């Protein structure tokens, strides 16, 4: 009898241990502090055969420099049917495999558009423009499912900066029930295909976040992603810290600074207008210098670490140098916020990732 009870007890402990290990395995990605960089332009930049240098002035591929600096997650955008191969599923799949081989995690941001999607533009893919809502909903499901099957990301965004919804007009916040249905279709595709992929809902800034995330509280997602750019989302890092902690209090989910950036100069390296060009657009405590950029990114990382349930951060545009030449008027609007200077040498900001 004692032997039988011992056997039952042993089996119970074994099952409990296995279940616990499964839970731990499924949460591995979400427990990792993300030190991320969006590197979506690297495949296109490589086609130019430009030479880049690490902080020791040694020639090195951009991705390898990021890896060696301590970046542990690479964020990549996917467009449905872009005008060229860049940000297409095939390009992202190939590049994601390289990222994984280097031991970094892959974070996909699915725009559900043929081009850029953000709070001011959420244009449906041309191939989906005449679909009924039922067909559109099905398309979100199958498109997302195919992406996850092909790439198996560690993290995946259902939409990009969807403050006002996505897939307009059907998925606009003016049609909240439809927007939620579209989100749920994307989520369902991920959950059914790879239960280990963590789902991010991405919102730009912190204004109206309580209203927005209350609206989607029935959507099954894992992580709140917030963009923070001083010129658009406020000049107080103390306020940002309070807002992130408030989000945790209200929604009890891991929180990620999904996009941010900062200039190391106000100068230009091509003939394309830059997003940032004067001191009114940045924070007064951080100058537009190598050191100012580094100090800003360190502060963003600290804010994430000081946020209850803070999961880390991701820098946008680190690789977005003037790769089309110094006289290009269709070049980079971001070369003064990249992680490489105008001589293609890596900047001190990379030390933050160590």
Nearest to 158 by CA among 180, 183, 178: 183
Nearest to 300 by CA among 266, 256, 334: 256
Please tell me what DSSP assigns to residue 332: -
Q: What's the pLDDT score for residue 4?
A: 47
pLDDT tens across 57-111, in order?
A: 999 999 999 999 999 999 999 999 999 999 999 999 999 999 999 999 999 999 9
Kindly provide the b/e burial profile for residues 10-31, where b requires at least 16 CB atoms within 10 angstroms of the residue's own CB.
Answer: eeeeeeeeeeeeeeeeeeebbe
What is the H or E stretch that residue 256 is in? strand 255-259
Beta bridge partners of residue 271, listed in sequence order? none
Phi, psi of 187 (to 5 degrees): -60, -45
pLDDT tens across 124-171, in order?
A: 999 999 999 999 999 999 999 999 999 999 999 999 999 999 999 999
Largest CA distance in the chain: 86
Q: What's the pLDDT score for residue 29?
A: 59
Q: What's the pLDDT score for residue 9?
A: 44
Interatomic CA distance for residues 243 and 240, integer angstroms: 5
Phi, psi of 109 (to 5 degrees): -115, 110
- Tell me the domain boundaries of the chain: 54-353
The mean pLDDT value for 324-347 works out to 98
In this predicted structure, the answer to whether residue 10 has a pLDDT above a threshold of 90 is no
Q: Please give the model's pTM, rounded to 2 decimal places.
A: 0.92
What is the distance of C-alpha 257 from the center of its chain? 8
C-alpha angle 341/345/346, rounded to 5°?
85
The gap between the terminal CA atoms of the chain, to the nearest Å, is 58
Q: What's the pLDDT score for residue 32?
A: 81
In this predicted structure, the answer to whether residue 13 has a pLDDT above a threshold of 90 is no
pLDDT band at 291 (very low <50, low <70, confident <90, very high): very high
The mean pLDDT value for 217-239 works out to 98
Structure tokens at 63: 């991705």
Q: Kindly give, in sequence order, each residue whose CB lies less than 8 Å from that of residue 128, ignoring residues fewer than 6 positions away.
A: 80, 135, 136, 139, 167
pLDDT tens across 198-215, in order?
A: 999 999 999 999 999 999
The mean pLDDT value for 179-201 works out to 98
| Distances, alpha carbon 27 to alpha carbons 32, 37, 70, 192, 298, in Å | 9, 21, 22, 17, 26
In this predicted structure, the answer to whether residue 334 has a pLDDT above a threshold of 90 is yes
pLDDT tens across 14-31, in order?
A: 444 444 334 333 444 567
Q: What's the pLDDT score for residue 30?
A: 67
Choosing among 1.10.1050.10, 3.40.50.1980, 3.20.20.80, 3.40.430.10, the CATH entry for 54-353 is 3.20.20.80
Portion of the chain with pLDDT greater than 70, in percent: 91
Interatomic CA distance for residues 284 and 271, integer angstroms: 27
Interatomic CA distance for residues 210 and 77, integer angstroms: 26
C-alpha angle 336/201/249, rounded to 5°?
105
Q: What's the pLDDT score for residue 259?
A: 98
pLDDT tens across 294-314, in order?
A: 999 999 999 999 999 999 999
């Amino acid at each position: 009898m004692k032997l039988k009870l011992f056997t039952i007890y042993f089996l119970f402990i074994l099952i409990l241990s296995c279940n616990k290990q499964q839970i731990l395995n499924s949460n591995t990605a979400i427990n990792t502090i993300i030190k991320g960089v969006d590197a979506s332009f690297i495949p296109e930049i490589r086609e130019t055969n430009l030479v880049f240098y690490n902080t020791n002035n040694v020639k090195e591929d951009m991705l390898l420099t990021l890896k060696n600096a301590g970046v542990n997650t690479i964020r990549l955008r996917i467009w449905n049917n872009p005008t060229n191969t860049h940000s297409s599923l095939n390009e992202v799949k190939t590049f994601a495999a390289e990222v994984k081989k280097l031991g970094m995690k892959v974070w996909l941001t699915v725009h559900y558009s043929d081009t850029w999607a953000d709070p001011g533009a959420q244009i449906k893919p041309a191939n989906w423009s005449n679909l009924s809502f039922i067909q559109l909903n099905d398309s979100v499901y199958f498109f997302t499912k195919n992406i996850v099957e092909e790439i198996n990301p560690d993290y995946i965004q259902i939409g990009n900066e969807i403050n006002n919804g996505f897939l307009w007009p059907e998925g606009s916040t003016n049609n909240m029930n439809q927007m939620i249905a579209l989100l749920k279709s994307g989520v369902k595709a991920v959950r059914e295909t790879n239960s280990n992929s963590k789902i991010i809902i991405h919102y730009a800034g912190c204004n109206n976040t309580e209203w927005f995330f209350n609206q989607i509280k029935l959507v099954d997602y894992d992580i709140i992603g917030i963009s923070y750019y001083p010129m658009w989302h406020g000049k107080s890092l103390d306020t940002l810290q309070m807002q992130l902690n408030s989000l945790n209090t209200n929604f009890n989910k891991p929180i990620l600074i999904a996009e941010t950036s900062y200039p190391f100069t106000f100068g230009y390296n091509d003939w394309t207008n830059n997003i940032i060009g004067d001191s009114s657009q940045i924070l007064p405590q951080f100058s537009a210098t190598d050191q100012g950029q580094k100090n800003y990114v360190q502060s963003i990382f600290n804010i994430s670490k000081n946020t209850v349930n803070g999961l880390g951060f991701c820098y946008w545009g680190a690789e977005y140098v003037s790769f089309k030449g110094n006289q290009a008027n269709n070049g980079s609007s971001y070369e003064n916020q990249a992680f490489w200077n105008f001589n293609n040498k890596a900047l001190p900001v990379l030390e933050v990732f160590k």
